[in-house]
Amino acid sequence: MARNLIPIDWEMADELLACGCPGTEIAAFFGMHADTFYDRVLKERGVCFSAYSAEKKATGEALIRKAQYDKALGLSKKGDNTLLIWLGKQRLNQKENVTEEIVAEALTKPFEALMSQLNNLQSDKKPDAHA
C-alpha cells in the first residue's frame, strides 16, 4: 500500500532556496526526509536538486543585487543598509577593497617611529668613548 505524498508548496520551496536554505532545511520545513525531497525535485521538477538549487539561489542573489542597486540610486527606501551590506559580503562575495599600499603605509609608519625611539634609547646608553 502506497503512502500519501506530503504536499510540497513549490513557490515556498523556491523562495526558501532563493533565501539560501539548504535542501535539508527545506525538507524539514515540509516534514520529510531530505532524500525524499531530493527525489521529488527530480521527479516533479525534472532536474537534479543541485541544478535546481543553484538556479533558485542565483535568483536570490540577483534580488539582493537589485535591492542594493535600487537603494544606491535612491529608487527604493526599502531594505536595511547594514543588512544589504552583510548579505552582499556573505552571498555575493563583495568586500571593501583595501590596497596593499594602504595597509603597508598603516603598518610602516608606526614601525618606523618605534625603530626611531629604539635608536634614540640605544644612543643615550652608549658609553662615551672620550671619558
Per-residue model confidence as pLDDT tens digits over 69-83: 998 888 888 888 888
Which pLDDT value is given to residue 3? 78
Mean pLDDT of 38-51: 97
> Is it the case that residue 57 has pLDDT exceeding 80?
yes
> Is it the case that residue 47 has pLDDT exceeding 90?
yes
What percentage of the chain has pLDDT greater than the value 70?
94
Count of beta carbons in the 10 Å neighbourhood of residue 78: 9
Which pLDDT value is given to residue 131? 52
- Exposed e or buried b per residue across 113-128, where buried means at least 16 C-beta atoms within 10 angstroms of its C-beta: eeeeeeeeeeeeeeee
